[in-house]
Amino acid sequence: MISSAKSKKISSAQMRAARAMLRLSALDLARLSKVGVATIRRVEVIDGEIPVTAANEAAIRQALEAAGIEFIDEDKAGEGVRFRKPQKTTRK
CA distances from 83 to 5, 37, 74 (A): 18, 23, 17
pLDDT at residue 16, as a whole number = 96
Q: For 23-90, give the DSSP string.
A: T--HHHHHHHHT--HHHHHHHHTSSSB--S-HHHHHHHHHHHHHTTEEEE---TT--EEEEPPPPPP-
Per-residue pLDDT of the chain (92 residues), as tens digits, is 454 445 678 999 999 999 999 999 999 999 999 999 999 999 999 998 899 999 999 999 999 999 999 999 888 888 999 999 877 766 66
Separation CA 86–CA 22 (nearest Å) = 15
- CATH 1.10.260.40 corresponds to the domain 12-83: yes
Is the distance from CB of 50 to CB of 10 less than 8 angstroms?
Answer: yes
Write down the domain spans for the chain.
12-83
CA nearest to 6, candidates 47, 54, 46, 43 = 54
pLDDT at residue 17, as a whole number = 97
